[in-house]
Structure 1
Amino acid sequence: MRDDPTLTFRNGHRVTFVANGTDEQGPYLRLEHILLRPERLAGPHWHPVLGERWTVRRGRVRYRIDGVEIVASAGDTVDAPAGSVHEFWNEAPDTVIDHEIRPPLRHWEMFRLWHNLDRAGKTTRARVPRDPLALALLWDYQDGYLAGVPAWLQRSVLGSLARVARGCGYQRRWLENGPDLP
């Protein structure tokens, strides 16, 4: 299961590992998302180092990047450079998105951790981990910050909780070994 290139969340959202490597622009990770129904995909957040690019292959996605709303349809590409506050919603059923992350840092591991927690029933309907330690570990793997909360406070509180989570074996249980799922 850990080596499966496709992660399927309980709501049907599928994330497929497509490629990773390095090209003339540096290291990258490419994923494909298949979204079955309209819903919020990510609340406002930002990454100090990594940038993201999405190309909608089918459907429609609404992005807000640094306060500017963009509605992207099939063939449109949207960029969120490092440091930009961004959030997005899927607005059409059966949407397909190509997602590129540069540099990838731990983004694939973040999706794997989130998937494992979700499949084990450890997340809310909005896919937020119920356990504060699991939430903090997920925050640590996303290599970014929630918008509207000072970064120093997130590093202090969530960073400390993520260290406790690793000390309690959450990383081994939920990421390295994966849960025992049906």
Structure 2
Amino acid sequence: MSEQVYDPNRRQRYEFGREGENLVVEIRVAPGGDVPPHYHPAQEERWTVRQGRVRFKIDGRTVVPEPGAEVVVAPRVKHSFKNVGDGEAHIHVEVRPAGELQAFLEDAAALSRAGYYTRHGLVKSPKGALRMAEFVDRYRDTTVVTLPPPALQRLLFSPLLRLSRRR
């Protein structure tokens, strides 16, 4: 496993490993830590809660698995999760195939630590808006955040991307 990567906005720590072409992530989530609604165009995720109480929302339905139970999310299925327990949650996830998800999570955490956006995903400055537009564009084939809707994101970020590319 790799060194831990911390994302203060999501209240999570990640450790990454590989099993062949698949990514393995051990996630430690503080109480209230979450991931907003999103989907992966080409990757399946298999989640196992090792410790704690985690609520998943998968394609409109809510699942709160017992520790040890597996939750499978197919490609292109919208999902989110939140630690709804009082203590830290430990989640094991296998991503098939790995794709660029590790880089996505590392870069998202770096943007979070740099203070470019709030816990709710709102950018804090013009520079933050440029960085977020670049980030969303770079990983559009890996992860699609669904709030705001992707069509609105494209409308808002397209001019910023053109500006960013001129610099």
User: TM bucket by the smaller chain?
Assistant: 0.7 to 0.9
TM-score between the two structures when normalised by the length of structure 1: 0.73
Code of the residue aligned with 1:53 in structure 2: it is: R
Give 1:163 deviation, angstroms: 6.6
Task: State yes or no: 1:84 paired with 2:84.
Answer: no
Query: Residues 105, 167 of structure 1: CA spacing in aligned structure 2 closer, same or farther, 3 A cutoff?
Result: farther
- What is the root-mean-square deviation in Å for CA atoms of aligned residues? 2.7
TM-score between the two structures when normalised by the length of structure 2: 0.78
Give 1:5 deviation, angstroms: 2.2
Which runs of 5 or more residues in structure 1 are unaligned? 169-182
Which runs of 5 or more residues in structure 2 are unaligned? none
SS at match of 1:110: helix
Say if 2:30 and 2:83, in contact at 8 Å, map to a contact too: no
Paired position in structure 2 for 1:14: 13
Paired position in structure 1 for 2:114: 120
Say if 2:43 and 2:95, in contact at 8 Å, map to a contact too: yes
Count of residues in correspondence between the two structures: 159
1:107 pairs with one of 101, 109, 114: 101
Paired position in structure 2 for 1:135: 132
Say if 1:117 and 1:129, in contact at 8 Å, map to a contact too: no
Give 1:82 deviation, angstroms: 0.3
Which structure carries more relative contact order (alpha carbon 8 Å, separation 6+)? 2
How far does the alpha carbon of each residue in 1:25-72 deviate from its partner, in whole angstroms, 9 at most, with x for none?
A: xx2111111112123x22222222112121100001111111111112
SS at match of 2:130: helix
Query: Residues 20, 36 of structure 1: CA spacing in aligned structure 2 closer, same or farther, 3 A cutoff?
Result: same
1:55 pairs with one of 48, 60, 68: 48
